[in-house]
Structure 1
């Protein structure tokens, strides 16, 4: 496939994707681009087009088709990173009927009752973390709060010992980065070996945790295989903390950059649920959703995309589409709530969305209540965003507590 006339998703894009998104929504809402990891595809930037791309029956997420297509659409000299089967055989990389089977088994273990029981523990973790830095004048809110809260919750939910949680944070951050292939492959190998051992431990000595529930989940004679258990654990681990880390971080950042909205929320804490939805819409934790590809020609936004093409759906851009949300580039926690795509759409809608909302509501609410003079301790233009097209999140978020 020729690589001329490709829009490159380069470092300036990673630091501020909204500039390119706004341009493309007007001039080329379905446009061929070159991704940082070395392959090309079609970037979808409008809300209604994104909904089509997320649900079209001729757009697949089956992991079996990715390898050949990524090689075919390679744009650089280095081949795209390939992950082991046991790390990719989960429901996010599958189509019906496999997806239906996998999601049904996961839902049996990851129920709303399981999530609801976590509220007390989330409160406790948030209070303990705040107590740990409350006496400081300034703090990196990501390192001290937004990262450790959800990683502690998801690791406890999966039955991962607390001593291993820092390793998981390092591994998952590397896996979703746009860095060189060697450390990404090393991180994948390390986390794969760890999770395989964890599955074996839970099978031999089950507990009350989610991982034990996944091992035990049955639908008649059906159950998750060893490979599926390892892959599903990885999916829940990454999705279970990365989304919430960046929802908390981005939410706090944008409150501090919009003092009128911060004042409105302080004056009426009952606005918090609406504020969380606005944070998700305005600067959601996911930019470009996980990969898809066409299995037949598909028309999206008036553009015919041929078969065997990679599809990049920008949830971040779709949620800033002014045709769907008026005055979309303005943060407004009091706006009438319209649907957003921050957690996806269709059969792959995030199974952990209720947990992410609960964690963010608790974390941001407790932070604002504890620190009435909270402010940014850096110029907004000095903040650096992570080098990833998948997640939209800062590297650090320095704040002044008093």
Structure 2
């Protein structure tokens, strides 16, 4: 009996996060988590233990019931990759806060991402998409979809919303990528410092002379009146700037790969562009690119699926597994653009649900039909096994995607 207990104590839970082997599928090792119930133990890169919430209903209940804390300065907050060590002690943006601080900051930003505001932006998004497709047609294939289209389209849109000069887009695209994909805490801190210094200068200029966009409004209405500290606006702007283009860029690129490798689904979309809205919802569910966004700390003792999670223990709500819960999504591993189920958790759930989800949906609904409609014969210019997914500790995606189009092989 004692030998059995000793063996159990020496056996570590499977690692989390893990790397994908296929850009549009969860890591093969996550199948082990799916078989163990709504909450299972995982092991982080530093050997520490973490609770993984994999069941859809448990995930929604925990994210909406005040059971979890998003406080990134809590000692129990899970650090899922070395790069996060470098930024955990920085002043947090509002996504790393709990109520009432989180509520106050989020309310300052909400109007810019409302359904009404995004609807008004659609003509702008359509123009940006068309301009980049025209440039691609002028250049001709093969080319890399990421720098030609996936990254600059959402980058220009978020510049429009924030009021960031688009002339600076190359700087913040490169620096935000260095932050998200840093190999060490030091690299992450360096990139965060460069972006923070840039935003400090921009906000200083906006305080001296009013300017457009979300930053201009907050500088004028909140910072100038002492209701928001300059460093708070910097951290919130940093979060919106990075999340506003990196995540959507990844979704555009992975959506193209997924549709190309499900030709019957792509043909259905081409035959009926009205399916775009439903297709986007299925792509969001199926791809689930933001597993690491579900990092939390237990705010109280919790019972999940017969497992006891103690207050202060690290928790990750694993969106990619919750979104493939067969009790909610029949045949969950099948990609079906007619499913169109908006109950997915690609944007999280509860008070921390993604602020920019309306914008992301609009960009995808516009970008994908335009790409496949205006680039007949769009296809990968390399075999899929040469397309390398990013590591599991960051926003899921690929850094390069060679494509071509037109006739020929």
TM above 0.5, yes or no, is yes
Alpha carbons 2:269, 2:275 under 8 Å: kept: yes
Aligned positions of 1:305-344 closer than 5 A: 305-335=309-339, 337-344=341-348
Alpha carbons 2:270, 2:372 under 8 Å: kept: yes
Q: Deviations over 1:139-184 (max 9, x none)?
A: 2111210011101111232222223211211222222226212211
Alpha carbons 1:295, 1:308 under 8 Å: kept: yes
Shift of 1:238: 1.5
State the alpha-carbon separation in 1 of the partners of residues 261 and 28 from structure 2: 18
Alpha carbons 1:109, 1:214 under 8 Å: kept: no
State the alpha-carbon separation in 2 of the partners of residues 366 and 39 from structure 1: 46
Aligned positions of 1:2-401 closer than 5 A: 5-9=12-16, 12-13=19-20, 17-36=26-45, 40-65=49-74, 68-69=75-76, 80-83=85-88, 85-86=90-91, 88=92, 90-134=93-137, 135-177=139-181, 179-217=183-221, 223-335=227-339, 337-401=341-405
The 3-state SS of whatever aligns with 1:168 is helix
Change in 2 beyond 3 A, CA 1:388/1:177 = farther
State the alpha-carbon separation in 1 of the partners of residues 329 and 120 from structure 2: 35
State the alpha-carbon separation in 1 of the partners of residues 393 and 400 from structure 2: 17
The 3-state SS of whatever aligns with 2:308 is strand
State the alpha-carbon separation in 2 of the partners of residues 94 and 111 from structure 1: 21
State the alpha-carbon separation in 2 of the partners of residues 133 and 324 from structure 1: 40
Q: Deviations over 1:309-347 (max 9, x none)?
A: 111111112111111101111111112525100111011
Shift of 1:37: 6.9
State the alpha-carbon separation in 2 of the partners of residues 365 and 36 from structure 1: 39
Query: Unmatched 5+ residue regions in structure 2?
Result: 1-8
- How many pairs were matched up? 394
TM-score (norm 1): 0.90
Change in 2 beyond 3 A, CA 1:40/1:369 = same
Query: Unmatched 5+ residue regions in structure 1?
Result: none
Shift of 1:110: 4.3
Shift of 1:95: 1.2
Shift of 1:112: 3.8
Change in 2 beyond 3 A, CA 1:39/1:173 = farther
State the alpha-carbon separation in 1 of the partners of residues 252 and 84 from structure 2: 34
Change in 2 beyond 3 A, CA 1:197/1:231 = same
The 3-state SS of whatever aligns with 2:41 is strand
State the alpha-carbon separation in 2 of the partners of residues 7 and 322 from structure 1: 22
Misfit runs of 4+, over 6 Å: 73-79
